Amino acid sequence: MTREDRGVAVDLSAMALIGLAVCLASHHLAFMTALVAIVLVTRTVLVCTWGGAALAPELVFLVLCTLIGGANDWNTVVRHGVYAYTVPADHPAFSTIPTWMLLYWGIILRAIAQLAAWPRLGDAKLVEGPFARPWPRIAAQLAIVLATRQAIYRLWADAWWSWLPFAIGLALYVVLLKPTQRARRLALIALFAGPPVEMAFIQLGHLHRYALGWLGGVPVWIALWWALGVLVWSDLAPRLVAAPRRTALTA
């Protein structure tokens, strides 16, 4: 088993353990808070010992994953009211999202980043072209994300326009940015595994609720967003991980 295998095993196990707890005990705030904290610390220790990651960079990136995932969820739920959590929150005046869920987003994004760097998922070489260069590629990705997020903030209750911008964004991403084999496979996993997991969270754990939840409580736009979001994050995350290393080498 390689170092990458061990990192993937740890993060997928952490994500799955909390996911199971969501299905069984999401309304028990104290239990979920303690469980997520324990899992978060344990996975970090295992990734740094068994997985061979350096502690300081791992902590920095994990915090970044938590901030990105948590801020996106808070902005979507609390500020724009696109969907709603139905579990107890520990700081309801500030957020209807419990802190343990915000931390769980960090674990989820960190696990996706682990998979994005996993050689067993396929080749990660970009196709040559204008969007193979870093800055044009990042600018195009951010433009697609910004356009789809702004659309859902305004059109989340529309039967067609809630999901059409995501379908268009996904098509543009594939045609223009030509994702790598590894990214395509990871996006397909997200497309077909993400919605069933959310269905379980909704139907079994009663974690949250959406409008237009046609797919067992999950709207079509979320299924498409899982694929699009994973394509973007699987490209950006390795760049973020490598950025401090490149800075250190050029300093």
At 140, is the secondary structure helix, strand, or coil?
helix
Provide the CB-side half-sphere exposure for 22 (13 A, CA).
24
Mean pLDDT calculated for residue range 168-185: 97
pLDDT tens across 68-120, in order? 999 999 999 999 999 999 999 999 989 999 999 999 999 999 999 999 999 99
CA Rg, the chain, in Å?
Answer: 18
The pair of structure tokens assigned to 111 is 């696990």
Please answer whether residues 95 and 89 qualify as being in contact, where contact means their C-beta atoms are separated by less than 8 angstroms.
yes
Average pLDDT of the chain is 95
Give the global pTM: 0.95
Question: What is the predicted pLDDT for the residue at 249?
Answer: 41
How many separate domains does the chain show?
A: 1
Instruction: List the domain range (segments joined by +) for residue 162.
Output: 3-250
What's the DSSP call for residue 54? Answer: -
Instruction: Characterise 172 by phi-psi region: left (phi > 0), alpha (psi -120 to 50), beta (else).
Output: alpha
Could you give the CA distance from residue 172 to residue 201 in angstroms, rounded to a whole number?
30
Q: How confident is the model at residue 198 (pLDDT cuts 50, 70, 90)?
A: very high
pLDDT at 182 over 80: yes
Could you give the CA distance from residue 217 to residue 228 in angstroms, rounded to a whole number?
20
Could you give the CA distance from residue 213 to residue 126 in angstroms, rounded to a whole number?
36
At 85, is the secondary structure helix, strand, or coil?
strand
